[in-house]
Structure 1
């Protein structure tokens, strides 16, 4: 939908430019074309969904998003678990694919949207103060919390899941528009497979393994 709206805006603006500007200021009409074409190409690139060989496995927890690992630390979760969890956070720049995927397969047992601020995505308080959408998926190994967090530019979080839904590992979970972050809260004792500052791919890179 966003790409269709962008393409329509591109066509309308350039038709107006051609009929009302080009005859008097061809350079301005050409500039409008180049700028709007650049914006359209960026929009298409941003919403791209590349074909990938997805990682699946009963013992695997895969990355829910493209980006860079910016946090690996123990935290106390106040929203759902009410105890200590291992948090791994992935920062997504505007250049990353912004499709989010299920890190594990199982049943959705919690789904909650929270209004909030728009701090930069790497801010320590963005996990608890920014606009965010939290999902918990349960399977025989345990429960996993995934939090989609809006950043300073991201102003819309899309989440396709609902409580009671059975989901497949690495299937699409949702989307965040324009620069954002995804937190995963893991049970203590899992075997972490990534490192700080590592570049990861959603649905491909193995984030951790169940103990």
Structure 2
């Protein structure tokens, strides 16, 4: 499965925020990468450049490549409602993102790996497709023989569960429930989705 495997800190510095999660390297060098990263006289982005930057930011945040993102956007366009909000809702409903949001994995990258390696179960059946779209009422759990994995145990012990209103977590059974699709105001990512809509409307 194709995905971005390059340096994450450099990408975070490019966008000015740790989009891949906690990052000590980013904290040390929060200015843009490159020879002139600390220069105050940086070239101002054009309108197109600002829109493109938002699209790239979302792609890196959720771990999608260009074709995947384009297909997701087209699906959002066909849905009822505000296209930008529908786009974020579809991205939040991805299985790898839900695994991350539930605190089963420390990052979306780690969540994608857990899904791909068949450690995650949805409604009683193993699902190894990171882009699998969750529906309200779906139950997500960890395969019995995978519950003892160090990466899963460490992530769950950090207590990040229960932070999101559209997800429910049962600490006893280590299972989660996708209650409903989130509203835009509930999604914490710092994204200006309208700029992406404007980019694709050109």
TM-score scaled by length of structure 2: 0.24
Q: Larger % of helix: which?
A: 2
Higher Cα radius of gyration:
1
If asked which structure has higher relative contact order (CA below 8 Å, sep 6+), I would say 1
Higher strand share: 1
TM-score norm. by structure 1 comes to 0.23
